[in-house]
Amino acid sequence: MNQNSENTQNPKINQGPAPSRAEGFASLGITENILKILRDLQFTVPTPIQHKAIPVAIEGKDVVGIAQTGTGKSLAFGIPLLQRLMANQKGRGLIILPTRELALQINETLTKIGRPFGLKTAVIIGGASMFAQKSQLRYGPHIIIGTPGRINDHIKQKTLSLHNISILVLDEADCMLDMGFAPQIKQILQTVPKDRQTMLFSATMPDSIIKIATTYMKLPVRVEIARPGTTNEKVEHELFFIKKENKGTLLEKLLKEYKGSVLVFCRTKFAAAKLSRNLNNKNFTAAEIHSNRSLGQRRMALDGFKAGKFRVLVATDIASRGIDVKGIELVVNYDLPEGAGDYVHRIGRTGRAGLTGRAISFAEPSQRSKVREIERLIRSTIPISQLPDMPQEQFVPTPQQQYTYQQNNRSSKKDTNNRQNNYPQRHYARRFSR
């Protein structure tokens, strides 16, 4: 990505300030008219990423924001974007993000704040009518929110011009790169004006993100709330080792124990569809969301889940980034994610807005290496439980787990198999009665 580079010096990313949050949003340089709307919407205390990023972004500086999912990154870039566009009526904003659902969510948030000031938005995403999107673009929106592929479709058809973009936002940047959007993002970055403000937000900071920052940004201020891989401390983790054919039975037990809303992640869209169908057959109200569903079906499922019409939402990783549904009691990793980083994003759907949450993962006996990758990333051992009436699965603990068990269970008796293998005895949390 070094063609048309806007900063050939590869500048060092500067560390942002860490001001006090005691004075709330009023201390961040936000105008009074926006503050009034924030109060009306009951936004009173900024999150750490908002408190650090908003003052820097309002000044017009480029920002690289690193924070775990569910920490309020939307307002961290949304408030400065709206305020600066109000001050510069000729400028326009462009927000690029990975999924349709996230685009619609961001649009909803920005509309609540920007509509009283006459700021218009347009959402251009795949799966929606190109004709309707062209109509929105003809009315000259102040902010364009879209996915990389559809943005490039409009550019190629000459229905979208980026010549007046003064503020560019890349949200969930690491996710977009993981999804293979790097070529489309590169095309957009080479099309927008060089004289602009750029804000990049991500949950992790891989080399690919650093390359974008050094190539296409101007001395960006780095605002980092927690190291990559940090999980919400209000979320409790739990792990079951179980055969694939027993996962459905275990999930049913969990759904009977937990009474709140539950988000279940499957690895493939076919598995998600099958599981949703099976749960409905067992009288659990469930909906599914994955790439085989139309935009309308996905919106209906998500809206129904938010409203309580569906107690269970079965999803692929399409829902693991940026979807803000308050009050999810439990996240279940029915299938472990392909990448350890996706574990962080999945469980970030619970324990939001200061609430507690729980994340339970199902792992097959052959997946101990995946468990080890996740534990290395989050720097924590996930407690292991097993149902008393579920088949006992042979499991070789990770070195970190082995050490933990040795420290906690020095006085425990070891059964014959564990003595032969020199592994400490398994102690399963008996959470269900026989």
For the segment 166-180, what is each residue's pLDDT rounded down to a tens digit?
999 999 888 888 778
330 or 211: which carries more pLDDT confidence?
Answer: 330
Provide the pLDDT for residue 351. Answer: 79
Does residue 292 share a domain with residue 207?
Answer: no
Averaged pLDDT for residues 50-63: 96
431 is a domain residue: no
Provide the pLDDT for residue 225. Answer: 80
Say which residues have a Cβ less than 8 Å from residue 316's Cβ, sequence separation at least 6.
Answer: 265, 266, 267, 268, 269, 272, 289, 290, 291
230 is a domain residue: no
| Of the residues 195, 224, 253, the one at which a domain ends | 224
What percent of the chain lies above the pLDDT cut of 90?
58
Provide the pLDDT for residue 419. Answer: 38
CA-nearest of 176, 180, 214 to 198 is 214
Averaged pLDDT for residues 355-378: 92
Does residue 385 share a domain with residue 366?
Answer: yes
Does residue 129 share a domain with residue 259?
Answer: no
What is the C-alpha to C-alpha distance for residues 331 and 347, in angstroms, rounded to an integer? 6
4 is a domain residue: no
Q: Output the CA torsion sign for 398, 404, 405, 407.
A: positive
Does residue 45 share a domain with residue 194?
Answer: yes
Does residue 362 share a domain with residue 257?
Answer: yes
Does residue 217 share a domain with residue 239?
Answer: no
Provide the pLDDT for residue 229. Answer: 61
| Of the residues 203, 224, 245, the one at which a domain ends | 224
Res. 285: pLDDT tops 50: yes
Does residue 218 share a domain with residue 251?
Answer: no
Averaged pLDDT for residues 326-332: 91
| Of the residues 198, 224, 250, the one at which a domain ends | 224
Strands 221-224 and 14-15, bridge-based pairing: parallel
CB 114 within 8 A of CB 142: yes
Provide the pLDDT for residue 296. Answer: 85
- Domain range spanning residue 240? 235-421
Provide the pLDDT for residue 387. Answer: 63
192 is a domain residue: yes
Number of domains in the chain: 2
Does residue 279 share a domain with residue 148?
Answer: no
Provide the pLDDT for residue 67. Answer: 81
User: Residue 429 gets which letter from DSSP?
Assistant: B
Provide the pLDDT for residue 429. Answer: 46
Does residue 413 share a domain with residue 276?
Answer: yes
* 12: confidence class by pLDDT, cuts 50, 70, 90: very low
What is the C-alpha to C-alpha distance for residues 133 and 125, in angstroms, rounded to an integer? 9
Query: pTM, whole model, 2 decimals?
Result: 0.71
234 or 118: which carries more pLDDT confidence?
Answer: 118
391 or 105: which carries more pLDDT confidence?
Answer: 105
139 is a domain residue: yes
Average pLDDT across the chain, whole number: 84
Tokens of 399: 């070195």
Res. 71: pLDDT tops 80: no
Provide the pLDDT for residue 319. Answer: 61
2 is a domain residue: no
Does residue 239 share a domain with residue 177?
Answer: no
CATH of the domain at 324: 3.40.50.300
Does residue 340 share a domain with residue 252?
Answer: yes
Res. 151: pLDDT tops 90: yes
* 207: confidence class by pLDDT, cuts 50, 70, 90: confident
User: Residue 203 gets which letter from DSSP?
Assistant: S
What is the C-alpha to C-alpha distance for residues 286 and 298, in angstroms, rounded to an integer? 13
369-393 confidence digits (pLDDT tens)? 999 999 998 888 999 997 656 544 4
Provide the pLDDT for residue 326. Answer: 80
Does residue 119 share a domain with residue 53?
Answer: yes
Averaged pLDDT for residues 261-288: 95
Provide the pLDDT for residue 8. Answer: 35
107 or 3: which carries more pLDDT confidence?
Answer: 107
Q: Looking at this protein, which amino acid is placed at residue 298?
A: R
3 is a domain residue: no
Provide the pLDDT for residue 101. Answer: 86
* DSSP code per residue over 313-352: EEE-GGGSSS---TTEEEEEESS--SSHHHHHHHHTTSS-
Provide the pLDDT for residue 11. Answer: 41
379 or 92: which carries more pLDDT confidence?
Answer: 92
7 is a domain residue: no
